[in-house]
Protein backbone atom coordinates (compact mmCIF):
# COMPACT_ATOMS: atom_id res chain seq x y z
CA UNK A 1 0.00 0.00 0.00
CA UNK A 2 1.31 3.42 -0.93
CA UNK A 3 -0.06 6.52 0.80
CA UNK A 4 -0.04 9.75 -1.20
CA UNK A 5 0.59 12.65 1.17
CA UNK A 6 0.31 16.39 0.58
CA UNK A 7 1.81 18.94 2.95
CA UNK A 8 0.04 22.24 3.46
CA UNK A 9 2.58 24.74 4.84
CA UNK A 10 6.30 24.34 4.19
CA UNK A 11 7.87 25.99 7.24
CA UNK A 12 9.79 24.67 10.24
CA UNK A 13 7.65 21.56 10.70
CA UNK A 14 6.36 21.03 7.14
CA UNK A 15 9.78 20.92 5.48
CA UNK A 16 11.06 18.40 8.04
CA UNK A 17 8.03 16.15 7.61
CA UNK A 18 8.41 16.29 3.82
CA UNK A 19 12.05 15.16 4.06
CA UNK A 20 11.20 12.46 6.62
CA UNK A 21 8.41 10.98 4.46
CA UNK A 22 10.84 10.40 1.57
CA UNK A 23 12.66 7.82 3.71
CA UNK A 24 9.66 5.47 3.67
CA UNK A 25 8.80 3.30 0.66
CA UNK A 26 5.11 3.34 1.61
CA UNK A 27 4.77 7.12 1.32
CA UNK A 28 4.77 9.45 -1.66
CA UNK A 29 4.91 13.20 -1.14
CA UNK A 30 2.41 14.46 -3.73
CA UNK A 31 3.47 18.05 -3.15
CA UNK A 32 3.82 20.91 -0.74
CA UNK A 33 1.92 24.19 -0.43
CA UNK A 34 3.89 27.44 -0.43
CA UNK A 35 2.15 30.78 -0.35
CA UNK A 36 5.05 32.73 -1.92
CA UNK A 37 7.83 31.96 -4.43
CA UNK A 38 10.54 32.72 -1.86
CA UNK A 39 13.70 30.88 -0.70
CA UNK A 40 11.57 28.14 0.90
CA UNK A 41 9.88 27.43 -2.43
CA UNK A 42 13.29 27.42 -4.14
CA UNK A 43 14.59 24.80 -1.67
CA UNK A 44 11.45 22.67 -2.04
CA UNK A 45 11.82 22.75 -5.83
CA UNK A 46 15.52 21.89 -5.65
CA UNK A 47 14.61 18.83 -3.55
CA UNK A 48 12.17 17.71 -6.21
CA UNK A 49 8.91 18.43 -4.38
CA UNK A 50 5.99 19.60 -6.52
CA UNK A 51 4.77 23.03 -5.45
CA UNK A 52 1.14 24.08 -5.08
CA UNK A 53 -0.20 27.38 -3.80
CA UNK A 54 -3.30 29.20 -2.67
CA UNK A 55 -5.35 30.26 -5.70
CA UNK A 56 -4.86 34.01 -5.22
CA UNK A 57 -1.04 33.63 -5.30
CA UNK A 58 -0.63 31.34 -8.30
CA UNK A 59 0.15 34.34 -10.54
CA UNK A 60 3.01 35.32 -8.21
CA UNK A 61 4.64 31.96 -8.97
CA UNK A 62 3.93 32.27 -12.71
CA UNK A 63 5.83 35.57 -12.69
CA UNK A 64 8.77 33.95 -10.84
CA UNK A 65 11.23 31.28 -11.95
CA UNK A 66 9.60 28.71 -9.68
CA UNK A 67 7.33 26.32 -11.52
CA UNK A 68 3.93 25.70 -9.95
CA UNK A 69 1.84 22.54 -10.26
CA UNK A 70 -1.54 23.94 -9.29
CA UNK A 71 -3.75 25.06 -6.43
CA UNK A 72 -4.10 23.65 -2.94
CA UNK A 73 -7.41 22.16 -4.12
CA UNK A 74 -5.50 20.23 -6.84
CA UNK A 75 -3.06 18.93 -4.20
CA UNK A 76 -5.89 17.67 -2.00
CA UNK A 77 -7.44 15.89 -5.02
CA UNK A 78 -4.07 14.22 -5.75
CA UNK A 79 -3.53 13.06 -2.15
CA UNK A 80 -4.93 10.38 0.17
CA UNK A 81 -3.96 12.36 3.27
CA UNK A 82 -2.95 15.94 4.04
CA UNK A 83 -0.55 17.00 6.77
CA UNK A 84 -1.46 20.53 7.81
CA UNK A 85 1.62 22.43 8.99
CA UNK A 86 0.30 25.96 8.55
CA UNK A 87 0.71 28.50 11.40
CA UNK A 88 -1.42 27.74 14.48
CA UNK A 89 -5.12 28.49 14.01
CA UNK A 90 -5.09 28.36 10.19
CA UNK A 91 -5.76 24.62 10.23
CA UNK A 92 -9.15 25.30 11.79
CA UNK A 93 -10.17 27.69 9.02
CA UNK A 94 -8.80 25.31 6.35
CA UNK A 95 -10.87 22.53 7.90
CA UNK A 96 -14.06 24.56 7.66
CA UNK A 97 -13.47 26.17 4.26
CA UNK A 98 -11.68 23.41 2.37
CA UNK A 99 -10.64 20.08 3.95
CA UNK A 100 -14.15 19.08 5.02
CA UNK A 101 -15.30 19.20 1.37
CA UNK A 102 -12.93 16.42 0.29
CA UNK A 103 -13.37 13.69 2.92
CA UNK A 104 -9.61 13.07 3.12
CA UNK A 105 -7.70 12.34 6.34
CA UNK A 106 -5.94 15.35 7.84
CA UNK A 107 -3.14 15.46 10.41
CA UNK A 108 -2.99 18.79 12.26
CA UNK A 109 -0.21 20.14 14.51
CA UNK A 110 -0.08 21.35 18.11
CA UNK A 111 -0.90 24.97 17.23
CA UNK A 112 -4.48 23.86 16.53
CA UNK A 113 -7.02 23.32 19.28
CA UNK A 114 -8.04 19.81 20.32
CA UNK A 115 -11.72 20.46 19.57
CA UNK A 116 -11.25 20.29 15.77
CA UNK A 117 -10.01 16.68 15.83
CA UNK A 118 -11.19 13.26 16.92
CA UNK A 119 -7.89 12.37 18.60
CA UNK A 120 -4.87 14.27 19.88
CA UNK A 121 -1.94 11.96 19.28
CA UNK A 122 1.26 10.75 20.85
CA UNK A 123 2.67 7.47 19.53
CA UNK A 124 3.72 5.94 22.86
CA UNK A 125 0.53 7.03 24.68
CA UNK A 126 -2.33 6.37 22.26
CA UNK A 127 -1.11 5.04 18.89
CA UNK A 128 -4.18 2.82 18.51
CA UNK A 129 -6.67 5.68 19.07
CA UNK A 130 -5.92 7.12 15.62
CA UNK A 131 -6.89 3.93 13.75
CA UNK A 132 -9.39 4.83 11.00
CA UNK A 133 -9.74 8.41 12.27
CA UNK A 134 -10.08 11.26 9.80
CA UNK A 135 -8.90 14.23 11.87
CA UNK A 136 -5.91 13.74 14.17
CA UNK A 137 -3.65 16.29 15.86
CA UNK A 138 -0.01 15.67 16.80
CA UNK A 139 0.44 17.59 20.06
CA UNK A 140 3.01 20.38 20.41
CA UNK A 141 6.76 20.06 20.95
CA UNK A 142 6.81 20.48 24.74
CA UNK A 143 3.77 18.21 25.15
CA UNK A 144 5.37 15.52 22.97
CA UNK A 145 8.51 15.67 25.13
CA UNK A 146 6.46 15.30 28.32
CA UNK A 147 4.18 12.56 27.01
CA UNK A 148 6.96 10.30 25.74
CA UNK A 149 8.42 10.15 29.25
CA UNK A 150 5.14 9.97 31.16
CA UNK A 151 3.60 7.20 29.04
CA UNK A 152 6.75 5.07 28.95
CA UNK A 153 6.90 5.10 32.74
CA UNK A 154 3.14 4.72 33.12
CA UNK A 155 3.15 1.57 30.93
CA UNK A 156 5.74 -0.15 33.12
CA UNK A 157 5.36 1.29 36.63
CA UNK A 158 2.34 3.62 36.80
CA UNK A 159 2.26 7.39 37.19
CA UNK A 160 0.26 9.01 40.01
CA UNK A 161 0.99 12.68 39.37
CA UNK A 162 3.34 14.96 37.40
CA UNK A 163 4.69 18.44 38.07
CA UNK A 164 6.82 20.16 35.44
CA UNK A 165 8.64 23.45 34.96
CA UNK A 166 9.20 24.33 31.31
CA UNK A 167 11.86 26.76 30.10
CA UNK A 168 10.71 27.55 26.58
CA UNK A 169 12.82 28.89 23.73
CA UNK A 170 11.50 32.35 22.86
CA UNK A 171 11.48 31.77 19.08
CA UNK A 172 12.71 29.41 16.37
CA UNK A 173 16.06 30.43 14.79
CA UNK A 174 14.44 31.96 11.67
CA UNK A 175 11.84 33.97 13.62
CA UNK A 176 13.55 37.37 13.70
CA UNK A 177 10.52 39.29 14.96
CA UNK A 178 9.75 37.22 18.08
CA UNK A 179 11.18 37.39 21.57
CA UNK A 180 11.81 37.98 24.40
CA UNK A 181 15.31 39.36 23.78
CA UNK A 182 16.01 40.46 27.34
CA UNK A 183 13.52 38.98 29.74
CA UNK A 184 12.13 35.83 31.34
CA UNK A 185 8.42 35.80 30.66
CA UNK A 186 5.68 33.87 32.43
CA UNK A 187 4.28 32.08 29.40
CA UNK A 188 1.40 32.12 30.12
CA UNK A 189 0.96 33.83 33.54
CA UNK A 190 -1.07 30.98 34.98
CA UNK A 191 -0.76 27.59 36.65
CA UNK A 192 -1.29 25.24 35.02
CA UNK A 193 0.23 26.51 31.78
CA UNK A 194 -1.47 25.28 28.61
CA UNK A 195 1.03 22.39 28.47
CA UNK A 196 -0.76 20.48 31.24
CA UNK A 197 -4.05 21.11 29.48
CA UNK A 198 -2.52 19.83 26.24
CA UNK A 199 -1.15 16.69 27.96
CA UNK A 200 -4.70 16.04 29.18
CA UNK A 201 -6.03 16.00 25.61
CA UNK A 202 -4.15 12.68 25.35
CA UNK A 203 -4.27 11.54 29.01
CA UNK A 204 -7.51 13.05 30.38
CA UNK A 205 -7.23 11.37 33.77
CA UNK A 206 -3.64 12.37 34.54
CA UNK A 207 -3.02 14.64 37.52
CA UNK A 208 -0.51 17.14 36.07
CA UNK A 209 0.54 20.71 36.80
CA UNK A 210 2.92 22.76 34.62
CA UNK A 211 4.38 26.26 34.62
CA UNK A 212 6.32 27.72 31.68
CA UNK A 213 8.80 30.56 31.20
CA UNK A 214 9.87 31.90 27.79
CA UNK A 215 13.56 32.86 27.62
CA UNK A 216 15.86 34.58 25.08
CA UNK A 217 17.05 31.45 23.28
CA UNK A 218 16.17 29.80 19.96
CA UNK A 219 17.79 26.39 20.27
CA UNK A 220 15.81 24.07 22.56
CA UNK A 221 13.39 23.89 25.46
CA UNK A 222 14.44 22.53 28.88
CA UNK A 223 11.96 20.75 31.16
CA UNK A 224 12.27 19.90 34.85
CA UNK A 225 9.95 17.02 35.77
CA UNK A 226 8.78 15.55 39.07
CA UNK A 227 6.99 12.28 38.43
CA UNK A 228 5.19 10.69 41.37
CA UNK A 229 5.15 6.94 40.75
CA UNK A 230 2.53 4.38 41.75
CA UNK A 231 5.23 1.99 43.05
CA UNK A 232 8.70 2.26 44.51
CA UNK A 233 11.40 1.50 41.95
CA UNK A 234 15.08 2.01 41.30
CA UNK A 235 16.88 4.45 39.05
CA UNK A 236 18.36 1.49 37.18
CA UNK A 237 14.85 0.31 36.32
CA UNK A 238 13.91 3.78 34.97
CA UNK A 239 17.11 3.89 32.93
CA UNK A 240 16.32 0.42 31.58
CA UNK A 241 12.81 1.58 30.56
CA UNK A 242 14.17 4.67 28.77
CA UNK A 243 16.88 2.64 27.06
CA UNK A 244 14.29 0.55 25.21
CA UNK A 245 13.29 3.52 23.08
CA UNK A 246 15.52 5.41 20.67
CA UNK A 247 13.33 8.50 21.11
CA UNK A 248 14.80 8.98 24.58
CA UNK A 249 18.55 9.45 24.81
CA UNK A 250 20.46 9.67 28.07
CA UNK A 251 23.58 11.75 28.40
CA UNK A 252 25.98 12.36 31.26
CA UNK A 253 26.69 16.10 31.37
CA UNK A 254 29.74 15.85 33.64
CA UNK A 255 31.46 13.14 31.58
CA UNK A 256 30.72 14.61 28.15
CA UNK A 257 30.65 18.33 28.91
CA UNK A 258 27.21 18.47 27.26
CA UNK A 259 25.62 20.53 30.02
CA UNK A 260 23.70 23.09 27.94
CA UNK A 261 21.40 23.36 24.95
CA UNK A 262 24.02 25.25 22.94
CA UNK A 263 26.58 22.48 23.46
CA UNK A 264 24.00 19.82 22.53
CA UNK A 265 23.25 21.68 19.30
CA UNK A 266 26.96 22.15 18.56
CA UNK A 267 27.42 18.42 19.15
CA UNK A 268 24.53 17.57 16.77
CA UNK A 269 26.17 19.78 14.13
CA UNK A 270 29.54 18.09 14.59
CA UNK A 271 27.86 14.66 14.37
CA UNK A 272 26.49 15.68 10.98
CA UNK A 273 22.83 15.71 11.96
CA UNK A 274 20.92 17.32 9.05
CA UNK A 275 19.80 20.84 10.11
CA UNK A 276 21.29 19.91 13.56
CA UNK A 277 17.99 18.18 14.35
CA UNK A 278 17.57 16.24 17.60
CA UNK A 279 14.18 14.48 17.45
CA UNK A 280 15.04 12.54 20.64
CA UNK A 281 14.32 13.70 24.22
CA UNK A 282 17.76 14.35 25.73
CA UNK A 283 17.60 13.36 29.41
CA UNK A 284 20.53 14.38 31.61
CA UNK A 285 21.57 11.34 33.69
CA UNK A 286 23.18 13.64 36.24
CA UNK A 287 19.76 15.12 37.07
CA UNK A 288 17.94 11.81 37.54
CA UNK A 289 17.11 10.90 41.08
CA UNK A 290 14.54 8.82 42.95
CA UNK A 291 13.35 9.77 46.40
CA UNK A 292 10.84 7.26 47.70
CA UNK A 293 8.25 7.22 44.86
CA UNK A 294 9.29 10.57 43.34
CA UNK A 295 11.38 10.60 40.18
CA UNK A 296 13.14 13.84 39.20
CA UNK A 297 14.80 14.55 35.87
CA UNK A 298 15.74 17.35 33.49
CA UNK A 299 15.50 17.00 29.72
CA UNK A 300 16.15 19.10 26.62
CA UNK A 301 13.67 19.16 23.73
CA UNK A 302 14.55 20.33 20.20
CA UNK A 303 11.30 22.05 19.28
CA UNK A 304 11.89 22.11 15.50
CA UNK A 305 12.26 18.34 15.09
CA UNK A 306 10.75 16.55 18.11
CA UNK A 307 7.29 16.02 16.55
CA UNK A 308 8.55 14.61 13.23
CA UNK A 309 8.59 10.89 14.31
CA UNK A 310 5.08 11.26 15.78
CA UNK A 311 3.77 12.70 12.49
CA UNK A 312 5.14 9.67 10.63
CA UNK A 313 3.56 7.33 13.19
CA UNK A 314 0.25 9.18 12.92
CA UNK A 315 0.17 8.43 9.17
CA UNK A 316 0.85 4.74 9.87
CA UNK A 317 -1.90 4.62 12.49
CA UNK A 318 -4.61 6.51 10.57
CA UNK A 319 -4.07 4.48 7.39
CA UNK A 320 -3.72 1.15 9.23
CA UNK A 321 -0.34 0.65 7.55
CA UNK A 322 0.97 -0.76 10.85
CA UNK A 323 -1.35 -1.94 13.64
CA UNK A 324 1.42 -2.75 16.12
CA UNK A 325 2.49 0.36 18.03
CA UNK A 326 6.03 -0.73 18.86
CA UNK A 327 6.71 -2.05 15.35
CA UNK A 328 5.57 1.32 13.99
CA UNK A 329 7.72 3.30 16.41
CA UNK A 330 10.85 1.18 15.93
CA UNK A 331 10.55 1.30 12.14
CA UNK A 332 10.12 5.10 12.22
CA UNK A 333 13.09 5.57 14.52
CA UNK A 334 15.32 3.32 12.45
CA UNK A 335 14.45 4.98 9.13
CA UNK A 336 14.90 8.48 10.60
CA UNK A 337 18.24 7.49 12.15
CA UNK A 338 17.25 8.18 15.76
CA UNK A 339 19.37 6.87 18.61
CA UNK A 340 22.82 7.27 17.03
CA UNK A 341 23.62 10.65 18.57
CA UNK A 342 25.91 9.36 21.32
CA UNK A 343 27.34 6.35 19.45
P1 LIG B 1 6.09 28.11 10.27
O2 LIG B 1 5.63 29.51 10.34
O3 LIG B 1 7.55 27.83 10.33
O4 LIG B 1 5.54 27.43 8.96
C5 LIG B 1 4.23 27.61 8.50
C6 LIG B 1 4.25 27.70 6.98
O7 LIG B 1 2.91 27.85 6.50
C8 LIG B 1 5.06 28.90 6.48
O9 LIG B 1 5.91 28.47 5.45
C10 LIG B 1 3.99 29.85 5.97
O11 LIG B 1 4.43 30.63 4.89
C12 LIG B 1 2.92 28.88 5.52
N13 LIG B 1 1.59 29.48 5.41
C14 LIG B 1 1.17 30.66 5.91
N15 LIG B 1 -0.13 30.89 5.53
C16 LIG B 1 -0.49 29.83 4.79
C17 LIG B 1 -1.68 29.48 4.11
N18 LIG B 1 -2.76 30.27 4.13
N19 LIG B 1 -1.73 28.30 3.45
C20 LIG B 1 -0.65 27.48 3.43
N21 LIG B 1 0.52 27.76 4.04
C22 LIG B 1 0.59 28.92 4.71
O23 LIG B 1 5.30 27.35 11.41
P24 LIG B 1 5.76 26.01 12.13
O25 LIG B 1 6.66 26.37 13.25
O26 LIG B 1 6.20 25.00 11.11
O27 LIG B 1 4.38 25.57 12.81
C28 LIG B 1 3.41 24.82 12.10
C29 LIG B 1 2.54 24.11 13.11
O30 LIG B 1 3.37 23.22 13.88
C31 LIG B 1 1.85 25.02 14.14
O32 LIG B 1 0.63 24.44 14.52
C33 LIG B 1 2.81 24.97 15.32
O34 LIG B 1 2.19 25.28 16.55
C35 LIG B 1 3.25 23.52 15.27
N36 LIG B 1 4.54 23.22 15.92
C37 LIG B 1 5.59 24.08 15.79
C38 LIG B 1 6.79 23.80 16.44
C39 LIG B 1 7.95 24.71 16.38
O40 LIG B 1 8.72 24.76 17.32
N41 LIG B 1 8.16 25.46 15.33
C42 LIG B 1 6.91 22.62 17.17
C43 LIG B 1 5.82 21.73 17.24
C44 LIG B 1 4.64 22.07 16.61
C-alpha distance from residue 101 to each of 3, 54, 106 (Å) = 20, 16, 12
Each of the 343 residues of the chain gets a pLDDT tens digit; together they read: 899 999 999 999 999 999 999 999 999 999 999 999 999 999 999 999 999 999 999 999 999 989 999 999 999 999 999 999 999 999 999 999 999 999 999 999 999 999 999 999 999 999 999 999 999 999 999 999 999 999 999 999 999 999 999 999 999 999 999 999 999 999 999 999 999 999 999 999 999 999 999 999 999 999 999 999 999 999 999 999 999 999 999 999 999 999 999 999 999 999 999 999 999 999 999 999 999 999 999 999 999 999 999 999 999 999 999 999 999 999 999 999 999 999 9
C-alpha distance from residue 238 to each of 31, 157, 163, 166, 297 (Å) = 42, 9, 18, 21, 11
Please choose from 33, 44, 73, 85 the residue to mutate so as to test ligand 1's pocket, defined by most ligand atoms within 8 A of CB. Answer: 85
Please report which residue ranges of 34-188 form alpha helices under DSSP H.
39-46, 58-63, 72-78, 90-97, 123-126, 141-156
220, 300 contact by CB (below 8 A)? yes
261, 219 contact by CB (below 8 A)? yes
pLDDT of residue 1: 83
pLDDT of residue 87: 98
pLDDT of residue 228: 98
In the chain, where the domains are located: 3-138+307-336, 141-301
Phi, psi (deg, nearest 5) at residue 157? -125, -35
Protein residue closest via CA to atom 20 of ligand 1: 9
169 assigned to a ligand binding site = yes
Element housing 215 (H / E): strand 207-215
Measured CA to CA, the distance from residue 316 to residue 287 in angstroms comes to: 35
Active-site pick, 51, 141, 214, 229: 141
Measured CA to CA, the distance from residue 340 to residue 343 in angstroms comes to: 5
Biggest CA–CA distance in the chain, Å, is: 67
142 assigned to a ligand binding site = yes
| 280 CB-contact burial (10 Å; exposed 0-12 / middle 13-18 / buried 19+) | buried
Measured CA to CA, the distance from residue 233 to residue 318 in angstroms comes to: 36
CATH of 3-138+307-336, one of 3.40.50.720, 3.10.20.90, 3.40.50.360, 3.40.50.2300: 3.40.50.720
Q: DSSP state, 25?
A: T
Question: N- to C-terminal Cα distance for the chain?
Answer: 34
pLDDT of residue 289: 98
CATH code reported for the domain at 141-301? 3.30.360.10
Protein residue closest via CA to atom 30 of ligand 1: 109
C-alpha distance from residue 134 to each of 41, 118, 120, 315 (Å) = 28, 7, 12, 11
307, 109 contact by CB (below 8 A)? yes
Q: In the chain, count of helices (H) and strands (E)?
A: 13, 16
Decide if 141 is catalytic. Answer: yes
Measured CA to CA, the distance from residue 212 to residue 192 in angstroms comes to: 9
pLDDT of residue 212: 98
Measured CA to CA, the distance from residue 270 to residue 36 in angstroms comes to: 33
147, 139 contact by CB (below 8 A)? yes
CA of 15 to the centre of ligand 1 (A): 10
| 54 CB-contact burial (10 Å; exposed 0-12 / middle 13-18 / buried 19+) | middle
Q: Considering only CA atoms, which of 94, 283, 130, 108 is closest in space to residue 202?
A: 130
Model pTM score? 0.98
Amino acid sequence: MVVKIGINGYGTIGKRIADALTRFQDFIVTGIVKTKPDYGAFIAKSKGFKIYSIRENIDLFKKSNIEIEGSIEDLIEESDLIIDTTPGGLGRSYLHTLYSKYGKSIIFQGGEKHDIVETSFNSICNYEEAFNKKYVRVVSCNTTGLLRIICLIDEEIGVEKVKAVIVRRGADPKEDTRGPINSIVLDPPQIPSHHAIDVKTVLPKLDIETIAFAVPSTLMHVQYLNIFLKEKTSLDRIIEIFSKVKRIQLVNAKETGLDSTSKLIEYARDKGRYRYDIPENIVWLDTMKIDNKELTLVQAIHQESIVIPENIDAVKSITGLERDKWKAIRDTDEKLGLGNLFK
